[in-house]
Chain A
Amino acid sequence: MGDLFAAYPIFGAFGVTLLLTFFSAIGATILGVVVVILRVSPVPLLQKLGALYVNIWRNTPLTLIIIAANIVMIVNLGFSFSESFSRDNLIWAVIALSVYHAAFVCEALRSGVNTVPAGQAEAARSLGLTFSQSLTLVLLPQAIRGAITPLGNTLIALTKNTTVATAIGVAEISGLQKTMMEDRPDLFVVIVLIVAVGFVVITLPMGLLTSHLSARLGVRR
């Protein structure tokens, strides 16, 4: 086991996994909030646009999205950010992961919006608040607090889904696992255990934190 850690950049590869998770989580959150605002807005066209976004990305396999990000965007259309493949692929993987998970963030937030009683929106409107005021002051704060657990689940799913980025050559842990398995079949079980334990170490705190936060911040009705 020692020679595995000496011969392969295991911590570096987990670092790339964390990097992908971190930036994609930020991207997915920003996009997801935008889409949920579309979906709960009073304008039917915007609602339909939001629903379209969710249904397209939620129902497209992530592997397909990530490979398309490389083959269509880089190889065929030449949208590259730098001369280096590794940086380009990392950036496109973050974009693809963000776009895909934004659909799930949106639906998690919408489940939170649904926990807010309809009377509150009516009360906000009767106080004279505009749509954006009632959204930012009344609806979203409660919606986010009500959506902590599903948001946490989405974050954990995102962490595990970063392994798909290996399809376009991002140097994260599941790609390294493949290399290690091919080089060192004698340590097959050890390799599987290292990767599995690594993911538990990363995702378990996320689960504990979201349970804790949802117990503390959830709005009791």
Chain B
Amino acid sequence: MKLARITLAAITALGASGLAACGSGSPASTAGGTAGGGQTVKVGIKFDQPNMGLKSGSTYEGFDVDVANYIAKKINVTPEFVEAISSQRESLIKTGQVKYIVGTYSITDKRKVDVDFAGPYFIAGQDLLVRSDDTAITGPDTLAGKKLCSVKGSTSASNLQAKYPGINLQEYNTYTLCVDALKAGSVDALTTDNTILAGYAAQDANKGKLKVVGTTFSTENYGVGLKKGDTAFCNQVNDAIKEFISSGEWQKSVDKWLGPAGFKPGEGNPPTPAACS
């Protein structure tokens, strides 16, 4: 069933790329210009990550949403948020279904084959979320024999498992199930990027019950994904990110969304966006 859905989505995406080339291609390409005049463009974010990118009712909130909104304001467009689930981000950009994506999107060489990145606008790292009364887990080295939870498709968890063979790994479709299992005591820790973990720890339902360990063991440079080869647009987004950081908005947004969990951005933050090639 799942497979059928993904395949269908792939076929639809492929079909849409053909259509976009002839029909709706022109409005998307003009949105790159500064003279957008407030036109509406589609922007991809996550819908299910509390305090990063979350759809609650008809509003969108979180750090990534703030970044996406700031960029939109700078390039003079109105964003219309659409969900960009991890495995479909590249095809959404390639087929022109979204103008750009701000969704805990790590810049990697493999992804650079298909899309360009502006930024980084945040440097995150893989970390662990545990129950607040847990003092035994202080980092990946203390995980031997523990039960770890992560989400299907996140290779970081399986890498950990390969490195520390004692780890018992439970994988779910969503982080929410992991958080529930963590609170129920059936797993001891949840691993993924510290930003996402801090978002869960800061949720009202989990406040005081969960904490982020704070020992990161990877470096994830979050970038804004956009169409390959559109250097002019990439530079505009980079300028917007630089201004977002220098104006103090970056710090304000981090404090607002990730601060309640006692989360401090790691070393290198706020980052300096790399030059667009």
A179 at the interface (CB under 8 A from B): yes
How many residues from A make CB contacts under 8 Å with B? 40
CB contacts (< 8 Å) of B111 on chain A: these are 185
Please indicate which of the listed interface residues A70, A185, A188 has the most CB atoms of chain B within 10 Å of its own CB. Answer: A185
Do A175 and B110 touch across chains, with their CB atoms under 8 A apart?
A: no
Mark interface residues in B149-186 (1 if CB within 8 Å of A CB, else 0).
00011110010000000001111110001001100101
Bound-state Cα–Cα, A194 to B168, Å: 29
Decide: A174 near B6, CB < 8 A? Known: A85-B170, A186-B113. yes
Contact A75 B180 (CB under 8 A): yes
Q: Once the chains bind, are B1 and A76 in contact (CB under 8 Å)?
A: no
Whether B171 and A175, one on each chain, are in contact in the complex, defined by CB atoms closer than 8 angstroms, is yes
Q: In the docked arrangement, what's the CA distance between A178 and B86, Å?
A: 9
Interfacial chain A residues near B7, Cβ < 8 Å:
192, 195-196
- The answer to whether A168 touches B114, judged by C-beta atoms less than 8 angstroms apart, is no
Question: Distance (Å) between the CB of B85 and the closest chain A CB?
Answer: 10
Instruction: Check if A96 is an interface residue, CB within 8 A of chain B.
Output: no
Contacts of A199 in B (CB 8 A): 3
Which of A75, A163, A183 is B184 in contact with, Cβ under 8 Å?
A75
Query: Does B89 touch A at the CB level, under 8 Å?
Result: yes
Complex: A192 Cα to B86 Cα, angstroms: 16
Considering the complex, which residues of chain A in the window 54-109 have a beta carbon less than 8 Å from any beta carbon of chain B?
62-63, 67, 70-71, 74-76, 78, 83-86, 89
Q: How far is the CA of A175 from the CA of B114 in the complex (A)?
A: 22
Asked if A18 is an interface residue, CB under 8 A from chain B, the answer is no
With A67-B177, A182-B87, A185-B114 as contacts: A89 and B3 at CB distance below 8 Å:
no
Question: A62 and B171 in contact (CB under 8 A), knowing A182-B86, A186-B113?
Answer: no
Residues A75 and B181 in contact, CB atoms below 8 Å apart = yes
A184 interface hit (Cβ, 8 Å):
yes
Contacts of B154 in A (CB 8 A): 179, 182
In the complex, chain B residues whose CB is within 8 Å of the CB of A89: 170
Cα(A36)–Cα(B14), bound, Å: 45
A167 at the interface (CB under 8 A from B): yes
CB pair B4–A85 under 8 Å, yes or no, is no
Instruction: Provide the residues of chain B in CB contact with A184, threshold 8 Å.
Output: 110
How many angstroms from the CA of A174 to the CA of B87 in the assembled complex?
12
Within 8 A of A (CB), among B48-95: 86-87, 89-91
Given contacts A67-B177, A89-B170, whether A160 and B1 have CB atoms under 8 Å apart is yes
Interface size class of B (residues with CB under 8 A): 20 to 34
Let me know if A185 and B3 touch, CB within 8 A: no
Complex Cα distance A186/B91, Å? 10
Residues of A within 8 A of B158 (CB): 179
1/0 per residue, CB under 8 A from B, across A32-71: the answer is: 0000000000000000000000000000001100010011
- Chain B residues with Cβ below 8 Å from A62 are 1
| Cβ 8 A contact of A177, one of B3, B113, B147 | B3
* B152 interface neighbour in A78, A179, A195, Cβ under 8 Å: A179
Taking a contact as CB atoms under 8 Å apart, the answer to whether B152 and A84 are in contact is no
Q: Is A214 an interface residue (CB 8 A)?
A: no
- Indicate whether A174 sits within 8 Å of B2 (C-beta atoms), given known contacts A75-B184, A84-B168: yes
Establish whether residues A166 and B180, one from each chain, have CB atoms under 8 Å apart when the complex forms.
Answer: no
- B168-216 interface (Cβ within 8 A of A): 168-173, 177, 180-181, 184, 186
- Residues of B near A174 (CB, < 8 A) are 2-3, 6
* Interface of B toward A, CB cutoff 8 Å: 1-4, 6-7, 10, 14, 86-87, 89-91, 110-111, 113-114, 147, 152-155, 158, 168-173, 177, 180-181, 184, 186
